[in-house]
Amino acid sequence: MSPRPDLLFVQAETILDGNAPQRFPSGSQIVRLPSESKRPLELTPEFFAAADPQVDFSGAKILFSAQKNAGAKWQIWEMNADGSEKRQITNCTGDCLRAAYLPDGEIVFTVEGLRSGRPESYLAVSKIDGSQMHRITFGPGNFWLETVLRDGRVLASASSPLQDTEAARKTRLLYTLRPDGAALEALRCEHQSSVRRGDAAELEDGSIIFVRKGSANGTSGGTLAEVRKNDPGESAVGGLAPKYRSPRPLSAGTVIVSRSSAPRGASQAKFDLYAFDLKKQMDGDLIYSDPKLSSIQAVPLIANPVPKRFWSTLNMESQAGYFISLNSYVSTEGIKGRLAAAIARVRVISLENTGTGERSLGEAPVEKDGSFYVEVPANQPVRFELLDANGQTIVAERSWIWARPGEQHGCPGCHGDKALAPENRWPLTLKRFDTPTALLEKNDAAEAAHAH
């Protein structure tokens, strides 16, 4: 058995759930536990709170988020693996946290702020020096960065459906998107409500391990779950006691987890670091325990493979993006995965940039094969409603999604089955010479037509 590598983790007296900026009311620090040692070395003494350590691809640098003083904004920092040469990367007006390295000298992170007086979080990308910071998620749903997958996609968690409502906030799903913000989709379509998924990490075989929490779990942690590579659904890992946080790969077949030592439902649980055997699906040896402080977010201090790089297909000079649906009849909301009612049109609804209300951008024809192709304002949340010939709604999508400038966002169906590849068919909508239907402005004519 190979020796345990050095570990980085976060120590804190109190860890709160939910609102990330206030998650360590008594402060926190990042420590390094050398291999063969039981005494962690403090790496961030100059901060009130520090968290979210991520090791770079060489294993020499650490990306982290930190709060200089209590009440100060969180910013992204980088330091050497021994804690030296700390360097502030971001200068966010809100809170910037939960960062991860991307290829080509970029980072992706979560930004928390207020939008129209309501808390909002989204993902942003910047150069490693903090320059060229730009937003990559554009809809409601309170996106949090989870990790960057080895295939180059960004893994995020957000509410389900992607709405800014109290009901939606109770359920969180895992989503993937490209580092340029294109190709947003749910990693898996799980419909169990009031389950919040997060604290995710990728395992060596490409599976995703994460923590599931019910709404009543409080601060005691959650259960472990996994999206196994090639499994269309998710599955539980280990027992049902909600006692885990931050599972991270440690070695082949083993993850390191933070496990609560307090009884279920206790308000002040303390977390210690344990190995967890994925094959046996049970806890392994205690790795580290502090008599007073919780230990969470442990990561091995080792070199990591560089994720694959995506060549962006966006055209940043464009004001529009595009959605093409190959067959809107293909839907998990229909009987046997297919909508029965004849679809005539699709209505595209936009969420105003102020976040205050919806408006119809207009309608587009849906062809007999279920295909449609629309042009919508880029970077603006939109959702779709399928209509029959009388203008009655057949299905209304609830999630807000977006298209990036010049993005051709393809959908095999309308909330289709992720395990069903599309048919090989020239979509009728692409045989028309008036598509994509431009829905860039409010389409009064279409609305008036249906009003009558």
Partner 1 sequence: MRAKLTTRLQALGALAGSLVLAGAIVTTFGVSRLYAAQAGAQSAASGSQENYLTPVELKFSHDGTKLYVVCEDDDSLLAVDVTTRRVVAKVKVGHKPKDVAVSPDGRTLYVSNEWDDTVSEIDAASFTSRRTFVTGWGPVGVTTDRTGKVLYVANSIGNDVSLLDLTSGAEIKRLASWRSPHNLSLSLDGRRVYVANLLGHLGSPNEPPVSELMVIDTAKQRVAERIEIPGVLELRHIAEAPGPKGGYLLVPFIRPKNLNPLIQVAGGWILTHGMAVVRVAGTNGASLTKSFVTQILLDDVDQYFAGTNGVAFTPDGRHALVTSSEADTVSAVDTAKLERRLHQVPAEELANRLDSAREIVERRLETGANPTGIVISPDGRFAYIVNRLSDSLTVVDVPRLQVRGTIDLGGPKQLTQLRRGEQMFHAARFCFQGQFACATCHPDNHIDGVAWNLETPQLGRDRVANRTLRGIAETAPYKWNGHNPDLETQCGPRIAKFLFHSEGFNHTQLADLVAFIKSIPLPPNGHLAANGELTPAQERGRAIFFRKNCDTCHTPATHYTAKTSFDVGTATKYDTSGLFDVPQLDRIVQRPPYLHSGEANSLEELWTTYNPEDKHGVTSDMSKEELNDLIEFLKSL
Q: Which residues bind partner 1 (CB under 8 A)?
A: 151-152, 183, 185, 206, 229-232, 308-313, 322, 324, 326, 337, 373, 408-410, 412, 418-427, 429-431, 435-436
The nearer residue to partner 1, 348 or 351, going by C-beta atoms, is 348
Count of other CB atoms within 10 angstroms of residue 369: 17
Please calculate the CA angle 88-20-275 and round it to the nearest 5 degrees: 90
Least spacing, CB of residue 315 vs partner 1, in Å: 9
CB 417 → partner 1: shortest distance, Å? 9
* Residue at token pair 């190995």: 275
CA 175/CA 141 separation, integer angstroms: 11
CB of residue 408 to partner 1, shortest distance in Å: 4
- What b/e readout covers 352-368, taking b as 16+ CB neighbours within 10 angstroms? eeeeeeeebbbbbbbbe
Q: Cβ 202 to partner 1, closest distance in Å?
A: 11
Secondary structure letter of residue 12 according to DSSP: E
Name the minimum Å distance from CB 146 to partner 1: 16
CB of 183 vs partner 1, minimal distance in Å: 7
Which C-beta is closer to partner 1: that of 183 or that of 346?
A: 183
- Could you tell me if 97 and 52 are in contact, meaning their C-beta atoms sit under 8 angstroms apart? yes
Tokens of 92: 């966010």
- Closer to partner 1 by CB, 4 or 409: give it: 409
Q: How far is the CB of 313 from partner 1 (least distance, A)?
A: 6
Q: Which is nearer to partner 1, 153 or 245 (CB)?
A: 153
Pairing of strands 144-148, 74-80: unpaired
Burial of 325 (0-12, 13-18, 19+ CB in 10 A): buried
Closer CB to partner 1, residue 242 or residue 406?
A: 406
CB closer to partner 1, 46 vs 423: 423
For 92-157, give the DSSP string: -SSEEEEEEEETTTEEEEEEEEEETTEEEEEEEEEETTS-S-EE---SSS--EEEEE-TTSPEEEE
Which lies closer to partner 1 via its Cβ, residue 6 or residue 202? 202
Output b/e per residue, 339-348; b: 16+ Cβ within 10 A: beeebbbbbb
Report the residue number, 301 or 411, with the smaller CB distance to partner 1: 411
Residues with Cβ within 8 Å of 42's Cβ and at least 6 positions away in sequence, in order, are 29, 31, 83
For 228-251, give one letter per residue: b (16+ CB within 10 A) or e: beeeeebeebbeeebbbbbbbbbe
Which of 237/351 has CB closer to partner 1? 237
CB 218, min distance to partner 1, A: 34
Report, in Å, the least distance between residue 158 CB and partner 1. Answer: 19
Cβ nearer to partner 1, comparing 140 with 307? 307
Measured CA to CA, the distance from residue 276 to residue 241 in angstroms comes to: 14
Minimum gap (Å) between residue 397 Cβ and partner 1 = 18
Cα–Cα distance measured from residue 71 to residue 452, given in angstroms and rounded to the nearest whole number: 56
In sequence order, the β-bridge partners of residue 108 are 100, 125
